[in-house]
Amino acid sequence: MSSKDHHEVEVKRKRSLKKESSPTRGVGDVKRSKSSTNDVKLFYAEEEEVEHRDPKKDLNLFKSATDDVRKCFKDIRDSKDKPDKSTNDHIETKKRETALHFVLLKKLNRLSHIRCKKSRDATNEAKQRIDQYHLQLQNLLYETMHLEKEITKCLEFKSKDEEIELVSVEEFYEAAPNDISKPETTRTDQHQLRLARLDWELEQRKMLAQKLKESETSKDQLDKEIKTQQEYLENLQPKLTSILQSTKPVQEYLGMPFDQIREQHQIAGHLPHPLYVLYMQTDAYRQACDKKLEVKIEGDIEAAKSMKSTPELFADVEDSDSDQEEQEKKSSKRRRKTVDSGKVERKKKVLKKHPLSVVLKIKTKDGTCLQLNFYYLVTLEIVTVVMQLKSGSESPPSCISGGDLLSPDLLLNEIYPGDNGNTSPNAANQYELRRLGLGEFNQYIKETGKPYLWAQWLSGLQFLNNNKSSKVADSSVSSENMQQTIKRLRRRIKSRLSLLKQLASLERGIIPLAPEAMPLFPTKIVAKLTSWKRSTYEDFCVLPYTEELVSNGLAKESDIFFTATMDRGSAKMTAQIVMTPDYPAVAPLFLVSLQWQTERSALNDINIQEMEEEVNVHYKEMIIHKSHDQILANQLQRLLMCFDVYLETETQNAEEGPKEISKEKVYARFARGPNRTKPYKFCAEVGIFSHR
């Protein structure tokens, strides 16, 4: 491009800049102006210029200027790559053009910043206006909500007179005088009618207050008269007491404690009917048959006098749910009870005991005393028992395997078959407890005591299988069962004490035989008892040879289980003993396993089965005279004897016996029959063993 062409382009560029600039100021003016005043004027002039310029046109102008700058840079580079004589002039011309383009770009940049600033300012102003309107809206909404609350309060306002129960309108017009009722006004104006009824209510209350005052005056006079008579009776009481005290030496000399008997009989009048029957029948039996029996009444006599009758208490429990519903409806006037507090209150009512109880003491010859406290649950209408055992002159022997045999849970368990006292004999109690959300009765035995069937019978109560119970105590039921129950309780104490002595001896490896039982066994038994310990129902059930016994119901969870270990040489025999709570009326059952060369039991060895039969079936041969309580020791001794016979008669060497086991006894025959049964029967007269 020639210098002439460059000059024409430069002239055109200047003209275009003059057109884009304001009429008063141009790009050339900006370069020439150096003072601050002119800069400020130019800034505000450009702000005004922005308002009149089209942003899209400025954008297109910016793009064209940018393209021209690129083009100039390219021409300069091309000129430098191919230099000639006019290269320097050409480069200078392009530099000037580029500078002009940069001036234009700066102007467009300032304009774009001014536009951006104006947009931000406009946006901020709009946001401020919106925030102001939003604040005004919130204020209006708050005022609206406040007004609505005040309107609701006004609509829900209830005056105190609405809580007053006024007489009906008909009664008001009939009873109220005309100066109060004012029928000509009140029949048409409800407000005046309300005021008149309130006036009449006030007059009636004034009259009732006057009557109350008169009644209180009359009551005070009666109180004074009663107090005078009470003082007279109180002065008379010491005199009567002194007269009774003077007769006590005569009563003691004659053995007739009339005062004590009279006091007990007076208290008996406040007993509930079942406990009254129990006390009177027990006292009659004591006087007629058993002088070692003691019976007395304990408890709070004043509480018994003020106590409500049983049907009212039961009605209170039944109505507790409906009362609770009414309380919930009136929650604004009364305090609500939580679910837990309501349950505790119902529990107290249902398990409430009568304040008086009957205490029965059964004594044995050695001085041991069984104390039974009988309580009556007034709501459930059953009698419960709490036991205490007091040792006599000799304390019970201590042993590990029988440490709990005298505990309340085991000592009174199954005095009659199946009667463990864990459930209420009155079937209606279970439904009542579930209805009130109290669960099963056995959860509360520690609080109430156990409701044994014999306790109900002694109290004259009889609950039948068809759930028809005799709520009225019958003295004939008590008298029919009194003697047998007392005998069973006394026999249970005696047998348990005897059993504890045997267990203590067995733990030391000694079988305590009674002298009268010695002839039943040979003088020499080689096998020894090496271990005796308590077992559990769960341990018993896991043994393979006990499965049949458990399935037939001959071993129950309520039974007492022991494990005995016996040794002779390398042979070891383990015996599992099942003892019912009614021992010794029911003999213990023995199950045997033998570890000698192989594992043997009644499942795989008929001789072991016959050994068990010898102990479990023929136990009556070991009961002599009064040794019934020693049946356990006798059975263990016979088991040791049969253990010796089994080992000495094994068929490995019928003539001389195994080398390890020497023959210590005399046998008529070592084995008999196809099953090769062994001679377990001992003939004490001749001292030999024979087959049955």
Alpha helices in 564-630 (DSSP H): 606-616
What are the pLDDT digits (tens) for 83-107? Answer: 777 788 888 888 888 889 899 889 8
Write down the mean pLDDT value for the chain: 82
Residue found by looking up tokens 């809206």 in the block = 137
User: How far is Cα of residue 300 from the mean position of the Cα atoms in its chain?
Assistant: 32
User: How far is Cα of residue 449 from the mean position of the Cα atoms in its chain?
Assistant: 20
- pLDDT given at position 667: 79
Say which amino acid occupies 363: K
Say which amino acid occupies 423: T
- pLDDT given at position 400: 86
**Is omega for the bond preceding 584 within 30 degrees of 0, making it cis?**
yes
Lowest-pLDDT range of 36-50, 237-251, 614-628: 36-50
- The percent of residues in the chain predicted with pLDDT above 90, rounded, is 24
Burial of 587 (0-12, 13-18, 19+ CB in 10 A): buried
- Per DSSP, the three-state class of 177 is coil
Count of CB atoms situated within 10 Å of the CB of 442: 13
Mean pLDDT value across residues 382-404: 84
Could you give the CA distance from residue 663 to residue 656 in angstroms, rounded to a whole number? 8
Residue 137 pLDDT > 80: yes
- pLDDT given at position 339: 55
- pLDDT given at position 36: 59
Sign of CA dihedral 424, 427, 433, 438: positive
What are the pLDDT digits (tens) for 308-345? Answer: 544 444 445 455 555 554 554 455 444 444 556 777 78
Structure tokens belonging to residue 601? 């039991």
Burial of 31 (0-12, 13-18, 19+ CB in 10 A): exposed
Residue 7 pLDDT > 70: no
Mean pLDDT value across residues 183-200: 89
Q: Kindly list the distances between the CA atom of residue 109 and the CA atoms of 89, 106, 136, 166, 468, in Å, as whole numbers in the listed order.
A: 30, 5, 41, 91, 108
- pLDDT given at position 316: 52
Residue 63 pLDDT > 70: yes
Could you give the CA distance from residue 186 to residue 371 in angstroms, rounded to a whole number? 78
Lowest-pLDDT range of 183-197, 406-420, 456-470, 539-553: 456-470
- pLDDT given at position 44: 64
- pLDDT given at position 29: 45
Count of CB atoms situated within 10 Å of the CB of 133: 10
Residue 486 pLDDT > 80: yes
- pLDDT given at position 506: 92
Label the pairing between strands 560-568 and 571-579.
antiparallel
- Per DSSP, the three-state class of 84 is coil
Could you give the CA distance from residue 366 to residue 506 in angstroms, rounded to a whole number? 23
Beta bridge partners of 591: 576
Q: Tell me if 592 sits within 8 A of 639, measured CB to CB.
A: yes
Q: Tell me if 16 sits within 8 A of 68, measured CB to CB.
A: no
Structure tokens belonging to residue 411? 């000592």
Count of CB atoms situated within 10 Å of the CB of 526: 17
- The percent of residues in the chain predicted with pLDDT above 70, rounded, is 83
Residue 398 pLDDT > 90: no
